[in-house]
Structure 1
């Protein structure tokens, strides 16, 4: 099926089924999605399933990227694994219609307090997006994809520099056609970029892909911009870790981590 021509990452077919557009396309395979958009889609499924409690918020989500996510119709299913008074654990799966799951998400939702409590800041602020300049993505062999659907502004480093980096990311289009972008969409669509922001190896000589992603959120972002302040390390055995602090313009909002599989091309 040809992806629809829509200014969004996905077109909704019904409550569970979606068609990806070409804006989901990642930089490595013309037939596969960047992991950011499907991660955000599963985040929505965890938060918005029928009967979901409105007094809880997603505090942690771990993704298992089982295989490349195709640019093809997908179905999201949700299962409640544990429901308690103060916390619940929910699992969502994304699969092509009639196929095996390609991505799993297990989320921890925590009950929020009715009255505001003490807030403790966690770390320094980054330079605001307005204090940085637009940063084009590294060369991608197709004109449209995740790299054109996201606006990037580096506060430290760049896509082409090796080592730690800090990049502000903003969605140019909504996650789902007809729906305004939501706070959780904005952070989850950006969090999988930590590996690329903090790359420590030559793209042309090495593969370094992440088979998982974990995001912890002490609060959900405010505003349109999310920053990923990341650094990567790689062991000689070919296993690495990309660790990132996540920010909005008010300050840190949480962390993300990606295990890395590293190999020569």
Structure 2
């Protein structure tokens, strides 16, 4: 991961986006995945405590935003012995563009016994070769390895790795890395053979533990849509196994991408 060209530079409480912070739908649009990363970063820095583990992060993407400086405000909603809830509001000069809510739970002793359902580790080893090369008008600012072809029947599978810092030269923390990757649940679960025809309105990332290392794997495990409204879900993995899930809701988009990001 390079810190020489972070997505944002922090100046007087505003996050100023770099050119590569734009998204795939429009050259002048800020990528929604970065808003979740900023929210996770702010909540972690201001409200995380030792022994409290991020268990859920919900990011609502209200509106598309041009490439404007961003501010992030947080508030502590609930502070109990075993649960802490914090919110984040993300704004530009044009108003509020997104919000997020995080639940942090107290770590404790793992219950013994045999559980009736356990998500298995997938049979996909971490990638060894180079990532997919960009083949379109938008160059993704992350590395991507396709395990399955886009739009093929059955679960879609990818490995991802961030290439840039989020803010200045700060190293990515596990929760920020997971929050950035989680937005990809939408194109992975909503893609079809002729491209991506849904744009997500939100995503909810749930975690049993923080991810390990810089690689995050995703496996789409569900898609349902009707009347232009879709919901999709993925299981998120690292090299040690599954660590959580992500669910997205999405709307049919008139300006479809003929190929998902980095489809090749």
Scaled by the length of structure 1, the TM-score of the pair is: 0.84
C-alpha distance in structure 1 between counterparts of 2:101 and 2:92, whole Å: 19
Distance across 1 between alignment mates of 2:15 and 2:111: 39
Offset of residue 134 of structure 1: 2.2
Change (3 A) 1:123 1:263: same
Decide which of 97, 100, 107 is 2:95's aligned counterpart: 100
Q: Which residue number in structure 1 is paired with residue 69 of structure 2?
A: 73
Superposition RMSD on alpha carbons, in Å?
2.5
Distance in 2 of aligned mates of 1:126 and 1:247: 11
The equivalences for 1:154-173 within 5 A come to: 154-158=146-150, 161=152, 164-173=155-164
> What's the counterpart of residue 190 of structure 1?
181
Aligned residue in 1 for 2:248: 258
Residue 215 of structure 1 and its aligned partner are, at CA, apart by 0.3
Indicate conservation of the 8 Å contact 1:125/1:250, yes or no.
no
Distance 2:152 2:22 in 1: 23
Alignment of 1:1-265 (within 5 A): 7-14=5-12, 16-49=13-46, 52-97=48-93, 99-113=94-108, 122-130=119-127, 134-137=131-134, 139=136, 141-142=137-138, 144=139, 147=140, 149-158=141-150, 161=152, 164-198=155-189, 199-200=191-192, 202-203=194-195, 207-265=197-255
Unaligned runs of 5+ in 2: 256-264
Deviates more, 1:230-239 or 1:208-217: 230-239
What is the total number of aligned residue pairs between the two structures?
Answer: 249
- The C-alpha deviation readout for 1:90-131, integer Å capped at 9, x for no partner, is 10011014x421010011111123x77769863223412235
Instruction: Check 1:54–1:67 CA distance in 2 against 1; reply closer, same or farther (3 A cut).
Output: same
Structure 1 unmatched ranges of 5 or more:
none
Deviation at 1:197, TM superposition (A): 2.1
Q: Distance in 2 between matches of 1:39 and 1:66?
A: 12
Counterpart-to-counterpart distance in 1, 2:83 and 2:77: 11
Q: Distance in 2 between matches of 1:66 and 1:197?
A: 21
* 2:203–2:246 CA contact under 8 A, matched in 1: yes
Q: For 2:127, what is the secondary structure of its paired residue?
A: helix
Relative distance call for 1:260 and 1:53 in structure 2 (3 A) is: same
